[in-house]
Structure 1
Amino acid sequence: MIILWCINWVFSTCLNEVIFENENENSIYLLVTGFGKETDSIIDFINTYPSFKETKIKFNVEVLDHDNSASFTAKDWNRIANKINSNYDSYNAFVVLHGFSTVEFTTSYLSYHFGLHEKTIVVTTSQVLPSETYSDFVSNVFGALKLANAEPKVPEVLFYADNTIHRGTRFIGLESASISAFSSPNFPTLGTVGHDVALDKSKILNGNTQAPEISDAKDRVSMIFFYPGMQLSVVKALLDSSEGAVLLAFGMGNGPSTDKPLLNLLKEVTDAGKVVVDCTQCYNGRVDFSVYATGEVMHDAGCIGGCDLTPAAAFTKLTYLLNKKAKDPSIDVKKMMGEPIVGELTKLQEADLQVMRFRRN
């Protein structure tokens, strides 16, 4: 036992890990949403599966809807956030069991909405329904409950799946039909859940916490995927129908430098005050306008570099900020899109100094 204790102490100290104890006696609020017609069978499973009935972790389950998350919009993010708000004083931690399809978007929005907070909020999902022989449902839900139950509390929204803890704004769906469906390409994962909850304390956000507030976000943002031969009318329609846009551009944020009508359109809308954020289509990496001339044209068209934001994190951040600006016109959305709010992006020193260095032959 002494040897095992020493090994655990060495790993915890050297790797900046803190082993969290599951000693919380207060109950957890488990909110089920986004599973569509499978919702009732999921609730029946939770109510009858022996491990859920016998666990020492106290939790209460509530079904928010019988909708599929593939249909979710900002109003659904509001419903989830406000359900947590209304129960915030009654529970010690929260788990959102969310349908697979749009879990990245919901988790990212909740991260911005709640900011740094006093009670652990964990979002999880299930790739395979519990009725299937080989399902990730039990391990994901139990792991999320264990993480939420742990002390001390984690002041940021977390995503948990496949024994891995992710920052809520940093993960993406990597596989459409695999138990190991998620990854965090541009930021290390925060820890794991096994016999204990092990978190890398050096990666956890810290600062002043904020009280929860009402969420009333509206759909204000479009997302535009660049592709060869893209029609100007398609881009214009999306820009005209939204208050801001996220572009999924080529490589390091590059655009079609010879497509003058497109560049002129972007310049026109950004000069008019519309916020256009340039992100990369790539799974890994970041936007840097200072590398290629095809990035320079996007900068000159008034686009904001999306750094290493995931598409979902960029989309929900812009939605969140535009909704805040609707209440407080003094908010500088363009500036805040380039600043980390909840650890969602990593800034480049060159970008901070706005140094433009182009590689030209």
Structure 2
Amino acid sequence: MRTILLIATGGTIASRPTAAGGLAPAITSQELLSCVPELAEFCRIDTIQLYNLDSTNMGPEQWQGIAAAVQENYDRYDGFVITHGTDTMGYTAAALSYMIQKSPKPVVLTGSQKSIYNRDTDARNNLWRAVAYACHPDAWGVQIVFDNQVILGTRARKTRTKSFNAFSSIDYPETAMFRDRRLIQFLQRPAEYTHAVFSTALDPNVFVLRLVPGMRADIIPMLEGRYRALVLESFGVGGLPGGDDGAMFAAVRDWCGAGHLAVFTTQVPHEGSDLAVYEVGRAAKALPGVLEAHDMTPEATAVKLMWVLGQTTDRAEAEKLFLTPVQWDIL
């Protein structure tokens, strides 16, 4: 019988109504398990109540706490299930994908759109399938299990705010899916996934700037001294208003000239950036310190930069690390 460690962090799945009428995490890890007693039929589960937070309050400190809990217990369990709120689950899944690389054991995140406290809910379904996947001999790596889907941690995005099928795999196949309670595997464990590599240092000094038509360029100099890297969510395949004659280009040039990184991504949900297509992007692409996220998700882009900056202070090395694919984050 396989052994699983359940790491509870809060979220909607563990929420109860408050006196004020909203929801807040209050259900413990043991209470979660008691709602799905049939799990005991095929595995042994130990639990850790690491946090009890709304996922809006999850960040780099908590990501490191989860990674540390996995690392500390890695040799004692066959797999790990992390219950988590849905709103920032994509960020946490991406962060764990960089901090726990090449894991032959599954590190699975799940949650729900309705509390397990409710009578009719997706919570029991998701928790059962997350544990079932973690117990499967072909399971591997950091994954999100949600609404019968198994999605790579670097490819998962929350694309619906209320529906049970809240998560999508962006521009890459799902790892697996459940049909009823049968797991159908699409992507096999890579041969090089033999020993987990833990690398948990993070630097959260990354600013994400979503461009809007008419935005003034003076926002970028205001970030100097506060942030080490800038993500520019640009239009379409990417570019800067005004091209290489514009104030925005000059601000990005000065930002990079100060030794910082600027990463271009797109506001479009699918297919990624390509600064080489239009003249408004080609000059920016040529600037030292400018990188492209290509088809990375916004969550993976921001979190990977935090992870990269935690590994090195050398810009050339940081550029190399950012552009090195990790669990198919860049194709």
**TM-score, structure 2 normalization:** 0.88
Q: How far did residue 340 of structure 1 move?
A: 0.9
Alpha-carbon distance in structure 1 between the residues aligned to 2:36 and 2:292 = 50
Q: Does the aligned pair in 2 maintain the 1:224–1:238 contact within 8 Å?
A: no
Matched, 1:324 2:300: no
Which residue of the partner structure matches residue 8 of structure 1?
Answer: none
CA RMSD of aligned residues (A): 2.2
Match of 1:174 among 159, 162, 166: 159
Which residue of the partner structure matches residue 31 of structure 1?
Answer: 7
Q: How far did residue 239 of structure 1 move?
A: 4.9
Residues 1-361 of structure 1 mapped to structure 2, 5 A cutoff: 25-35=1-11, 38-41=24-27, 43=29, 45-49=31-35, 51-52=37-38, 54-154=40-140, 156-194=141-179, 195-201=181-187, 204-213=189-198, 215-258=200-243, 260-302=246-288, 303-326=290-313, 329=314, 332-346=317-331
Partner SS, residue 307 of structure 2: helix
Alpha-carbon distance in structure 1 between the residues aligned to 2:210 and 2:274 = 18
Alignment CA distance shift 1:267-1:143 (3 Å): same
Q: Give the residue type in structure 2 aligned to 1:46.
A: L
Q: Does the aligned pair in 2 maintain the 1:85–1:214 contact within 8 Å?
A: no
- Sequence identity (%): 24
Q: Give the residue type in structure 2 aligned to 1:305.
A: E
Alpha-carbon distance in structure 2 between the residues aligned to 1:52 and 1:64 = 24
Alpha-carbon distance in structure 1 between the residues aligned to 2:316 and 2:100 = 18
Alpha-carbon distance in structure 1 between the residues aligned to 2:84 and 2:57 = 13
Deviations 1:145-170 (A, max 9, x none): 0000001342x211110100111101
Q: Does the aligned pair in 1 maintain the 2:174–2:187 contact within 8 Å?
A: no
Alignment CA distance shift 1:81-1:291 (3 Å): same
Q: Give the residue type in structure 1 aligned to 2:222.
A: A
Q: How far did residue 208 of structure 1 move?
A: 4.9
Whose Rg is larger? 1
Q: Which runs of 5+ in 2 are unaligned?
A: 16-23
Deviations 1:122-147 (A, max 9, x none): 11121111123432111111101000
Q: Give the residue type in structure 1 aligned to 2:126.
A: N
Q: Does the aligned pair in 2 maintain the 1:46–1:52 contact within 8 Å?
A: no
Q: Does the aligned pair in 2 maintain the 1:307–1:338 contact within 8 Å?
A: no
Q: Give the residue type in structure 2 aligned to 1:29.
A: L
Q: How far did residue 221 of structure 1 move?
A: 1.1
Deviations 1:207-230 (A, max 9, x none): 154444362323121111111122
Aligned pair count? 318
Q: Does the aligned pair in 1 maintain the 2:218–2:251 contact within 8 Å?
A: no
Alpha-carbon distance in structure 1 between the residues aligned to 2:120 and 2:263 = 40
Partner SS, residue 63 of structure 1: strand
Alpha-carbon distance in structure 2 between the residues aligned to 1:107 and 1:237 = 31
Further displaced range: 228-237 or 336-345: 228-237
Q: How far did residue 61 of structure 1 move?
A: 1.8
Partner SS, residue 247 of structure 1: strand
Q: Give the residue type in structure 1 aligned to 2:70.
A: I
Alignment CA distance shift 1:131-1:208 (3 Å): closer
Alignment CA distance shift 1:134-1:256 (3 Å): farther
Q: Give the residue type in structure 2 aligned to 1:28.
A: I
Q: Does the aligned pair in 2 maintain the 1:307–1:345 contact within 8 Å?
A: yes
Q: Does the aligned pair in 1 maintain the 2:86–2:158 contact within 8 Å?
A: no
Partner SS, residue 187 of structure 1: coil
Q: How far did residue 266 of structure 1 move?
A: 0.7
Alignment CA distance shift 1:238-1:330 (3 Å): closer
Q: Which runs of 5+ in 1 are unaligned?
A: 1-24, 347-361
**TM-score, structure 1 normalization:** 0.82
Further displaced range: 48-57 or 292-301: 48-57
